[in-house]
Structure 1
Amino acid sequence: MNVRPEYKSFGELFAENNVFFTPKYQRDYSWESEQIEQFCGDIENALTALVEGNVSQHFFGGIVCSQEEGVGNRKIENMLVDGQQRLSTIIIFFSVIKSILLAYEGDEKDLAFRDDLLTDIHKYLVFEERVQREKVSHARLRIGNADNVFFQATIQGAEIARTRDSHKLIWSARQSFQAFLVDKLFENKTLTESLEVVDNIIKLFEESFLLIHIISTTVDDAYKLFMVLNDRGINLTEGELLKAHTIGNFDENNAHVIQITNDWDSILANDASSVSDFLRWIVTMLTGEHIPNSQVLERYKQDYLTSNLAPQDMANKVRFIKEACEKLKLLSDAEWPFESSNNTNQFHKTKLDWLVKKLKHTHSMPMLLAATYTTEVEFQKVVSETCKFFIRYKVISNLHAGLFSSLYPNKAKIIYTQRDRFSVALIQEAFRDVIASKDSENEYFTAGIASLAYSRKGDNRPLKYLMITIQENWDWLTNEPALGVRRRLHMEDKTAVFDFKNTSIEHLYPYSAREVDRNVDLEEVKNRIGNLVILDINTNASNKDSPFRDKIVNFTNSGIGIHEFVLEHDEWSHEQVELLRNKYIELSVRAFSF
């Protein structure tokens, strides 16, 4: 490996004819408040030491470049392989100082000193050279396509739309530096004193703030260094490393490589945590295996984004990842991943919201992603059946969640592989097999239902999941003769959409019974499932704490099936509570079967 390290100050680095640009695989700007505060703290501590006469040097780490030397006094192009975060932050910092100084007004002597300081700062922002008698200015640093326009505008003091997280971080860094300088370093100081502070800051960067400039003459050597070095301890994400992997071996001017770069910019515009999840869910779907976070990068390199791919093939695969990420972004936000159609209504969208937002069942994401490559109708069925399965297996029965890591990846791969001929029957069979092996006699499920109870301070979601599912399947559950499971999905009531906002839990024996209506036996079981039904939230409010005999009229023609059972009784006692509980168990075992 042909590299040479040069130990120098930042002042020396920027006094040279260096201009810097980042390769297409480099990460977006990513310094957050913690790193900015540390940077400001380093400057503040060094200023204090300088004023007290305790001059000390501070090492800021290294930057790694692949360098093409210029001729004579011409600029030297440095492909900035590692160190972008540090250099871009320093440039933002000096651009803020420049804007503050330009706004100052003072006497002739102060303004002359200010202009000298602006001259010293200029080299951190711009490199100038003479070309055929004309002075040509070059930005000291050009960063990635997704950030460069915003970055250049920011250091010139312009405010433009912030469309990416990295833009927000760049602008936040500028605002933090503005506050650090004006509100802390220049606070209660005259113009002359503030100029002295700036002079000391420049001296620190010229003399005391040091780095190692590691220079390689080949891109290959620089790339190898990039893969093992981090920027100030911030680890590169899987997405950033995969971006490097998919581009590093190709000519970056190749049209396919430009497409790869743009697609990765689109992927990495999402927050880092989401990108990490998206990439893991995609490779899980493709391999059919549970992939831990630590193995995501290697599995992509080994199984999908292999190094022997031609540029066009690599571009096609990255495009697939980009489009899959777009689908996962919609799914993660519980947004329907198909264009609007007559096949889908609010019923289906509510089920997706349950699964993703309310149940937070992210284990199912690889399988949901795979189902988006089938038909919209099959996707609807996968969402509905997975929702029922999770409610039964985990929410009600509280069985071990470790099963999902072995069940879903394999099914996700099968769904994706068979996308042109997939039927939800495959998923139903898998769920049926799980229940047969884990709860063949419905003992856990029955016990879970029997233990469900109303909590005044809770959202009572398990109760609502169970009761609403029974209601949606009421026609199938009560059909004579009994119909098979295959007919259940076709007979779901999709016309009246029950959600948590328009549905409440009604106590048949009231939660707060009046003294004259109090029943000691029922007080003990009033919050158990056998004393509860779902009801329209407005009707529930009108019932207040009325006794059973007074509220029963509201159950007539309510459209809610279980109310038919309630209406069979003229009074409500402990015996009726037991009967209703058993009715719920009977109906639930059927409704949550596959």
Structure 2
Amino acid sequence: MVITPRHESIAGLFGPTRIFRVPKYQRHYAWTAEEIDDLKADLGGSLKARKASQERPHFFGGLVTVARPHAGSATKLEVIDGQQRLATFVILVAQVINVMLELSTKLVADADGSLRKFLEDRAGTLRAQFLRLDDTVSLKVEDVARLELSKPDYLFFVQLIQGNNPDDAERTSHKLLKAAYVSLGKYITDLVAQESTDHQKVTQLANIAKVLEVDWTVIHMETTTVQHAYNLFQVLNDRGVGLTEGELLRAKTMEVLDAVATQEQLDRIEKCWDDILSEAPGRVEEVLRWIFASHTGKRPGKTTLYDEFLQHLIPTHPAVLTASQAAGLVTAVEDLGKDFKKIALMLDGQWPLSGHSTVTAWDRDRLGLLLRELKHTNCIPLLIAATALKQKTFSDIVQMLERFVFRYKSVSNAHIGPATNVYNKQAVAIRDAPSTYKISTLKADLQPLLLAHASDTRFTTALGELEYSTLASNKTIKYFLMTIEHYARWYQDGAKGPPVCKDKSRVLDFANTTLEHIYPQNSAPSDPHLNAVVQSLGNLTILGPTDNDAVGNKPFLQKKAVFAKSTISLNVRISSLAIWNVAAVNAWKEELKAMALKIFVV
């Protein structure tokens, strides 16, 4: 491996003719406010030293590049490592130029125009040094960017540096780029504003420019081949330190495909990785782990996700792929992207299967309740595999999981590990043979867990202990009562067969459904006996927003009329009671528990 390391100023790094390009397999912009604040602190320290005539060199970091062919007169360097600091430096220079040009229009004590001319000339020099270059291509002089980021960030970065204030910051990297631009712009503006006179302000900007040109240095490691550069890139990052697993997987797949894949294949896989990595890094890793478990039946190690993904799911070996192997790799990444999109839909409460639907809005709503209200994401490996099944089967699995996890985890508080193992095992079974998969196998695996960890006694005892809290969330109780309501008609008809919602035309809105104390929390007059059970499950029901306004803090005898006209069948039943006392509270709690034993089964 031939490496030419040089310690040089950033002005020396850019030189008179160098242009930098970030390749498609590099990660996107990722510096957060923390890194930007560190950069501002470094600039402040260097500026303070220079103003005191005590120049202080500052090591800005390392850069790994490889020379690439270029049709023009400029020297093109592909950035393998160091694009984060390089992009941030260019943003900083752009903002220094902006402040220089803005100040040049506001000078009041510049009779001969010398300060204005200095600022305009200095801004032009900085622009030529770090932002734009006149490149001669085929006897034509073209104005080209000194630094181009990879495709997802390219246009947004161009607009940002040109001061066009792009407002389509939808990607995480775009939001971070814009945040860096705004933060650094404000910092430079504040540095200048703290000076009193025009001359002092211009001097401040001159010192800032000198710091960036002279005082800040880098270690530039230039390699002779892409492979050498990529190997060095992996060593410097210790296979993941500072890089996410998703970014490393992108880099690896793009790198091995670069020499053998067609341009059409490269474009497809690049687009796929762009979509995957547009999510926040933490979410990307989480989804990768779910997908890995869905395929292999096991969770990857805490520090081995990258290696295990390459071993089991993304075929990047041998180092030189055949055309057939390259096509297989492209397909594998595209399948990964499809799973990412389906998981994103599910986490957003949306149905992941398209086409003619045999399920109702009520069925689809259960998925959102499972993942968002019960917050049960351990089952995602199973769900993503189950998207290969028919819509009705997928819906049945969602409802089975929903009833299971409420009883097993939400109420009985059993350890989720054994259930997660079942989900992963069933996910592999589906992927192995989706056309012959039977949901009865999932039922057979879940039932023993309920018997062992959420028996009838344990479940009903824990249900009886549920109470309304004035301090914490009461989502568990709300979900319970809403689900009981959906299955109430089936229960009243004899509870035959598996639980079925007999009126799917009605979808209760979880957010707008409220819990109501049947005996009010602040009753007037007060009943000391009912006060003792006011927060009990048996003293709670659900109401829509209109009914909630109507009952207010009224006593039971006045609420009866509202309950009798309610669309909630549970309230109609409560309205049939003549009085509401402690005995009625306890009896209603026992009735809810009896219904739960029939409904929350698999």
Q: State the TM-score, normalized to the length of structure 1.
A: 0.91
Which AA in structure 2 matches 1:95?
Answer: A
- CA 1:5–1:69: 2 relative to 1, 3 Å: farther
Is 2:331 the partner of 1:316? yes
Which AA in structure 2 matches 1:483?
Answer: K
- In the alignment, the residues of structure 2 paired with residue 543 and residue 566 of structure 1 have an alpha-carbon distance, to the nearest angstrom, of 14
Which residue of 1 is the match for residue 93 of structure 2? Answer: 94
How well do the aligned residues superpose, as a CA RMSD in angstroms? 2.7
- In the alignment, the residues of structure 2 paired with residue 540 and residue 172 of structure 1 have an alpha-carbon distance, to the nearest angstrom, of 44
Which residue of 2 is the match for residue 58 of structure 1? Answer: 58
Which residue of 2 is the match for residue 430 of structure 1? Answer: 445
Farther-moved stretch of structure 1 (133-142 vs 275-284)? 133-142
Please state how far the C-alpha of 1:223 moved relative to its aligned partner: 0.5
- In the alignment, the residues of structure 2 paired with residue 340 and residue 134 of structure 1 have an alpha-carbon distance, to the nearest angstrom, of 53
- In the alignment, the residues of structure 2 paired with residue 571 and residue 377 of structure 1 have an alpha-carbon distance, to the nearest angstrom, of 44
Farther-moved stretch of structure 1 (496-505 vs 201-210)? 496-505
- In the alignment, the residues of structure 2 paired with residue 120 and residue 475 of structure 1 have an alpha-carbon distance, to the nearest angstrom, of 79
Please state how far the C-alpha of 1:591 moved relative to its aligned partner: 0.6
Which AA in structure 2 matches 1:399?
Answer: A
Farther-moved stretch of structure 1 (207-216 vs 450-459)? 450-459
Is this contact kept in 1: 2:366–2:399, CA < 8 A? yes
Which residue of 2 is the match for residue 366 of structure 1? Answer: 381
- CA 1:208–1:495: 2 relative to 1, 3 Å: same
The Cα offsets for residues 288-325 of structure 1, whole Å up to 9 and x where unpaired, read as 11224423212210101122362211111111111111
Is this contact kept in 2: 1:391–1:465, CA < 8 A? no
Which AA in structure 1 matches 2:483?
Answer: T
Aligned runs of 1:208-247 on 2, under 5 Å? 208-230=215-237, 235-247=242-254
Q: Which runs of 5+ in 1 are unaligned?
A: none
Is 2:152 the partner of 1:142? no
Which residue of 2 is the match for residue 476 of structure 1? Answer: 490
Is 2:158 the partner of 1:158? no
Is this contact kept in 1: 2:422–2:446, CA < 8 A? no
Which AA in structure 1 matches 2:175?
Answer: K
SS at match of 1:227: helix
Please state how far the C-alpha of 1:530 moved relative to its aligned partner: 2.7
SS at match of 1:363: coil
Aligned runs of 1:9-28 on 2, under 5 Å? 9-28=9-28
Is this contact kept in 2: 1:127–1:139, CA < 8 A? yes
Deviation above 6 Å: which 4+ runs of structure 1? none
Aligned runs of 1:276-425 on 2, under 5 Å? 276-308=285-317, 310-339=325-354, 343-425=358-440
Please state how far the C-alpha of 1:582 moved relative to its aligned partner: 2.0
Is 2:505 the partner of 1:505? no
- In the alignment, the residues of structure 1 paired with residue 224 and residue 511 of structure 2 have an alpha-carbon distance, to the nearest angstrom, of 64
Is this contact kept in 2: 1:290–1:405, CA < 8 A? no
Which residue of 2 is the match for residue 449 of structure 1? Answer: 463
- In the alignment, the residues of structure 2 paired with residue 269 and residue 70 of structure 1 have an alpha-carbon distance, to the nearest angstrom, of 30
- In the alignment, the residues of structure 2 paired with residue 274 and residue 132 of structure 1 have an alpha-carbon distance, to the nearest angstrom, of 46
- In the alignment, the residues of structure 2 paired with residue 170 and residue 545 of structure 1 have an alpha-carbon distance, to the nearest angstrom, of 52
Please state how far the C-alpha of 1:30 moved relative to its aligned partner: 1.4
SS at match of 1:512: coil
Identity of aligned residues (%): 29
The Cα offsets for residues 366-415 of structure 1, whole Å up to 9 and x where unpaired, read as 22222222222222222222121121112211222333432322222223
Is this contact kept in 1: 2:412–2:453, CA < 8 A? no
Aligned runs of 1:12-51 on 2, under 5 Å? 12-51=12-51
SS at match of 1:146: helix
Which residue of 1 is the match for residue 274 of structure 2? Answer: 265
- In the alignment, the residues of structure 2 paired with residue 456 and residue 392 of structure 1 have an alpha-carbon distance, to the nearest angstrom, of 23
Farther-moved stretch of structure 1 (41-50 vs 522-531)? 522-531
Please state how far the C-alpha of 1:497 moved relative to its aligned partner: 2.1
- In the alignment, the residues of structure 2 paired with residue 259 and residue 52 of structure 1 have an alpha-carbon distance, to the nearest angstrom, of 55
SS at match of 1:444: helix
The Cα offsets for residues 438-470 of structure 1, whole Å up to 9 and x where unpaired, read as 234x22201111112223455532222222222
Which residue of 2 is the match for residue 539 of structure 1? Answer: 547
- CA 1:135–1:191: 2 relative to 1, 3 Å: farther
Please state how far the C-alpha of 1:328 moved relative to its aligned partner: 1.2
Is this contact kept in 2: 1:355–1:361, CA < 8 A? yes
- In the alignment, the residues of structure 2 paired with residue 475 and residue 149 of structure 1 have an alpha-carbon distance, to the nearest angstrom, of 58
Is this contact kept in 1: 2:59–2:218, CA < 8 A? yes
Farther-moved stretch of structure 1 (302-311 vs 320-329)? 302-311
Farther-moved stretch of structure 1 (383-392 vs 310-319)? 383-392
- In the alignment, the residues of structure 2 paired with residue 204 and residue 547 of structure 1 have an alpha-carbon distance, to the nearest angstrom, of 75
Which residue of 1 is the match for residue 593 of structure 2? Answer: 585
SS at match of 2:62: strand
Please state how far the C-alpha of 1:555 moved relative to its aligned partner: 4.1
Is this contact kept in 2: 1:280–1:293, CA < 8 A? no
SS at match of 1:248: helix
Please state how far the C-alpha of 1:557 moved relative to its aligned partner: 6.1
Which residue of 2 is the match for residue 514 of structure 1? Answer: 524
Is this contact kept in 2: 1:343–1:376, CA < 8 A? yes
Q: Which runs of 5+ in 2 are unaligned?
A: none
- CA 1:404–1:207: 2 relative to 1, 3 Å: same
